[in-house]
Amino acid sequence: MSAQLISGRDIAATIREEVKERVTALNEATGRVPGLATVLVGEDPASQLYVGMKNKAAKAAGIHSEQITLPVDTPEDELLGVVQGLNANPDIHGILVQLPLPGHIDEHKVLLAVDPAKDVDGFHPVNVGKLSTGATDVLAPCTPWGVVQMLLRTGNDPRGKHVVVVGRSNIVGRPMASLLLRRGAGGDATVTVAHSRTPDLGAVTRLADILIVAVGRPGTVTADMVRPGAVVIDVGTNRVDAPDTERGYRVVGDVDFDAVKDVASWITPVPGGVGPMTIAMLLSNTVDAFEHLVGN
């Protein structure tokens, strides 16, 4: 048996087209379009690349996009002032402060300053709290929300399934579990959360109908740790040395893909799996925020 691939690229492309259609309809109904603002502090190349990708994707979907780039030595109070200005801007419906921030800035304080209704990253404590209590009218973190969409759109509804989430980060693991526990489409699962301190991790992962791995360590899950026929979602993105390649490295996930694909029924590749979903769901969240703030 060889698993069917879950192409995040294909699913993300479909969602982007859906977002574009929603934006067009909203513009016709209201005369306005959703607005997304990204705030970048410093010149980290990876952050610059990622913010650029977000802005390009937003514009392609018809979303008004603004990028605010600040020097690396920007005082915390100045950054907070920028955020407050965006909170008050009626043309901006989604705010994303690119992380990480320079060491002299308190990331928690900045994230707390973002209006929860414009928090399209889903990291504000208000949105975290709403999600953890089962609310459906909430802006969910983009990566786990993207995983839910991947499952639903490939016919792997988690309802009634035992889902094991490996990883407990605030970005993926914890919100992933909260989404899967919610009532309704994409939820109603029995969820187990495991992590790096879980004894005999394989004994836990082998219980999973759906296995979601997000620990940031290559090769964490091997074939013997996967129940035959399970759906495997690999959220990990890791660089490993590959001297035989032009770049000198290759990108792999947290799952031993080559071995696990012969055990699983469905599996996400890395790259091309979960990664493309994050920006697609950011665009979707921005339109959701517009609809909540402006109406549809």
Residues 164-186 pLDDT 10s: 999 999 999 999 999 999 999 99
The pLDDT value given to residue 40:
96
Are 159 and 231 members of one domain? Answer: yes
Which residue numbers are catalytic? 54, 98, 121
Same domain, 45 and 152: no
Confidence of residue 247 (pLDDT cuts 50, 70, 90): confident
- Evaluate whether residue 133 is within a structural domain: no
Per-residue pLDDT tens over the stretch 78-129: 999 999 999 999 999 999 999 999 999 999 999 999 999 999 999 999 999 9
Is residue 66 in a domain? yes
Residue type, 220: T
Please tell me the total count of domains within the chain.
2
User: Are 158 and 255 in a shared domain?
Assistant: yes
Q: Judge if 156 and 240 occupy the same domain.
A: yes
Does 206 lie in the same domain as 147? Answer: yes
Asked if the structure places residue 83 within a domain, the reply is yes
Question: CA 37, CA 79: separation in Å to the nearest integer?
Answer: 13
Using CB atoms within 10 Å of the CB of residue 104, give its burial: 0 to 12 exposed, 13 to 18 middle, 19+ buried. Answer: exposed
Q: Which pLDDT value is given to residue 296?
A: 60
* Within-domain flag for 194: yes
CATH number at residue 44: 3.40.50.10860
Task: Let me know whether 162 and 68 are in one domain.
Answer: no
Distances (CA, A) of 215 to 61, 83, 117, 219: 32, 31, 29, 10
* Same-domain status, 267 and 154: yes
Q: Are residues 96 and 196 in the same domain?
A: no
In a domain, 148, yes or no: yes
For residue 65, give its domain range: 31-115
Which pLDDT score, from 0 to 100, does residue 44 have?
86
Q: Is the pLDDT of residue 257 over 70?
A: yes
**Has residue 189 got a pLDDT over 80?**
yes
Q: Is residue 250 part of a domain?
A: yes
Per-residue confidence (pLDDT) for residue 1, from 0 to 100: 63
pLDDT at 242: 86
Side by side, the strands of the sheet bearing 4-5 are 4-5, 266-267, 231-234, 210-213, 162-166, 190-194
Identify whether 290 is part of a domain: no
CATH number at residue 166: 3.40.50.720
Please, what is the average pLDDT of the chain? 96
271 & 156 share domain:
yes
Residues 6+ positions from 41 with CB-CB distance below 8 Å: 69, 70, 71, 72, 74, 79, 97, 98, 101, 102, 105
| 92 plus 152 within the same structural domain | no
Q: Evaluate whether residue 17 is within a structural domain.
A: no
Among 5-14, 40-49, 72-81, which stretch is predicted with the lowest mean pLDDT?
Answer: 40-49
Neighbours of 141 (CB within 10 A): 29
For residues 68 and 191, state if they share a domain. Answer: no
Query: How much is the pLDDT for 165?
Result: 98
